[in-house]
Structure 1
Amino acid sequence: MKDPTYNIGSVLKRVRFERELTLEEASNLTGVSKAMLGQIERGESNPTISILWKISTGLRISFSELLGSQNNKYEAISIEDIEPVYESDGKMILYDVFPFDPMTGFEYFYIKLLPGAEHVSTPHQSSVEEYIVVTKGTLKLTLEDQTFELAAPSALRFKPSGSHTYSNPYDSEVVFQNVIKY
Structure 2
Amino acid sequence: MEAGEIIAYNLKRLRSERNLSLGQLANMAGVSKVVLSQIEKGEANPTINTIWKITGALQLPYSALLEMPEKAAVQIRKKEISALSEDKYHIFNYYAKTNERNFELYQIEVEPGCEHASIGHSTNSFEYLMMLKGELILETDGEAYALKKDDAICFDASGAHSYKNVGKKDAKAVLLIHHR
- TM-score of Structure 1 vs Structure 2, range by shorter chain: 0.7 to 0.9
Mapped contact 1:24–1:34 kept (Cα < 8 A): no
Superposition RMSD on alpha carbons, in Å?
3.0
Deviations 1:97-154 (A, max 9, x none): 1122233121111110010110110122321111111111112100121111111101
Indicate if the aligned counterparts of 1:26 and 1:59 stay in contact, CA closer than 8 A.
Answer: no
For the structure 1 residues 78 and 71, does the alpha-carbon distance in structure 2 shift closer, same or farther, using more than 3 Å as the test? same
Percent identical residues: 29
Is the 1:107–1:179 contact (alpha carbons within 8 Å) kept by the matching residues of 2?
A: yes
- TM-score norm. by structure 1 comes to 0.77
Q: How does 1:1-182 map to 2 (within 5 A)?
A: 5=4, 8-23=7-22, 26=25, 32-35=29-32, 36-48=35-47, 51-52=50-51, 55=55, 58-59=59-60, 61=64, 63-65=66-68, 70=69, 72=71, 74-87=73-86, 89=87, 91-182=88-179
What is the one-letter code of the residue matched to 1:15? L
* Residues in 1 aligned to 2:105 and 2:171: alpha-carbon distance in whole angstroms: 17
Report if aligned partners of 2:4, 2:45 keep a CA contact under 8 Å in 1.
Answer: yes
Structure 1 residues 115 and 7: alpha-carbon distance in aligned structure 2, compared to 1, 3 A threshold? closer
